[in-house]
Amino acid sequence: MRYPEVPRDDTVETIHGEAVADPYRWLEDGDSARTRAFIEAQNAFAEPFLAALPARAAFRERLTALLEAPTRGCPWVRGGRVFAWHSDGQNQPLLVTADTIDGLDGTGDAAPRVLLDPNALSADGTVAVTMASVSADGALLAYGTADGGSDWRTIRIRDVATGDDLADEIPWTKWNHAVWLPDVGGRPAFSYWAYDAPGGDALTDEMGAGRLMRHVVGTPVADDAVLVSRPEQPRLFARHWPRDDDWFVLSTDTGSSSGNDLAVRRHDEGADALRQLVTGHEQEWSAIGIHDGSLYAVTDDAAARYRLAAFDLATGAERTVVPEHPQDVLLDAALTASGLVLEYSHDASHRMQLASFEGELGDAVPLGDGVSITASEASARSSTVLVATQSFVDRGTRHVVEVEGGRLLAHRTLPTPGPGAPAAATHRIRTASSDGEIVPAFLVRPADDPGDGPRPTLMWGYGGFNIPMNPGFRAVLAAWVAAGGVLVVPNLRGGGEFGSEWHKGGTKERKQQVFDDLFAIAEHLIATGVTSPAQLALHGRSNGGLLAGAALTQRPELWAAVLPGVGVLDMLRYHRFTIGWAWASDYGDPDEAEAFSYLRAYSPLHSVRQGVAYPPTLITTGDHDDRVVPAHSFKFAAELQRAQSAAGPGGGADAPVLLSVDTRAGHGMGKPKDAAALEFADQLAFAAHHTGLVVAAAPEAVDELAAEVGA
Are 533 and 610 members of one domain?
Answer: yes
Per-residue model confidence as pLDDT tens digits over 526-561: 999 999 999 999 999 999 999 999 999 999 999 999
The pLDDT value recorded for residue 699 is 46
The answer to whether residue 561 sits within a structural domain is yes
Q: Structural domain of residue 36, as residue ranges?
A: 25-64+420-709
φ/ψ of residue 582, rounded to 5 = -70, -15
The answer to whether residue 293 sits within a structural domain is no
Could you give the 3-state DSSP secondary structure of residue 301?
Answer: coil
Give the chain's radius of gyration (CA, Å): 25
Are 619 and 652 members of one domain?
Answer: yes
Active-site residue, selected from the candidate residues 625, 626, 662, 682: 625
Are 486 and 462 members of one domain?
Answer: yes
Are 508 and 403 members of one domain?
Answer: no
Are 511 and 576 members of one domain?
Answer: yes
Mean pLDDT over residues 591-599, rounded? 97
Residue 694: burial class (beta carbons within 10 Å; 0-12, 13-18, 19+): exposed
pLDDT at 648 over 90: no
What's the CA gap between 623 and 639, in Å, rounded?
19
Crossing angle of helices 475-482 and 56-68, in 10° steps, is 120
Is 294 one of the catalytic residues? Answer: no
pLDDT at 171 over 70: yes
The overall average pLDDT reported for the chain is 92
What's the CA gap between 463 and 331, in Å, rounded?
17
Q: Give the containing element (helix H, strand E) for 13.
A: strand 12-15
Crossing angle of helices 593-602 and 512-527, in 10° steps, is 20
Domain end residue (candidates: 417, 441, 462)? 417
The pLDDT value recorded for residue 367 is 96
Are 349 and 405 members of one domain?
Answer: yes
Domain end residue (candidates: 389, 417, 445)? 417
Is 625 one of the catalytic residues? Answer: yes
Per-residue model confidence as pLDDT tens digits over 237-270: 899 988 899 999 999 998 656 789 999 999 999 8
Active-site residue, selected from the candidate residues 286, 345, 542, 660: 542
Number of domains, the chain: 2
The answer to whether residue 184 sits within a structural domain is no
CATH of residue 571's domain is 3.40.50.1820
Are 510 and 376 members of one domain?
Answer: no
The answer to whether residue 292 sits within a structural domain is no
| pLDDT confidence tier of residue 705, bands split at 50, 70 and 90 | very low
Which DSSP state fits 532?
A: -
State the sign of the Cα–Cα–Cα–Cα dihedral 366, 371, 377, 378: positive
The answer to whether residue 13 sits within a structural domain is no
The answer to whether residue 73 sits within a structural domain is no
Is 667 one of the catalytic residues? Answer: yes
Q: Which of 322-331, 503-512, 635-644, 658-667 has the lowest mean pLDDT?
A: 658-667
The answer to whether residue 621 sits within a structural domain is yes
Are 582 and 674 members of one domain?
Answer: yes
The answer to whether residue 4 sits within a structural domain is no
Are 372 and 431 members of one domain?
Answer: no
pLDDT at 386 over 70: yes
Are 460 and 556 members of one domain?
Answer: yes
Domain end residue (candidates: 390, 417, 444)? 417
Are 412 and 486 members of one domain?
Answer: no
Are 337 and 475 members of one domain?
Answer: no
Say what the pTM is: 0.84
Mean pLDDT over residues 139-168, rounded? 94
C-alpha separations of 503 from 121, 236, 305, 466, 516 in Å: 39, 22, 11, 5, 15
Active-site residue, selected from the candidate residues 503, 575, 667, 689: 667
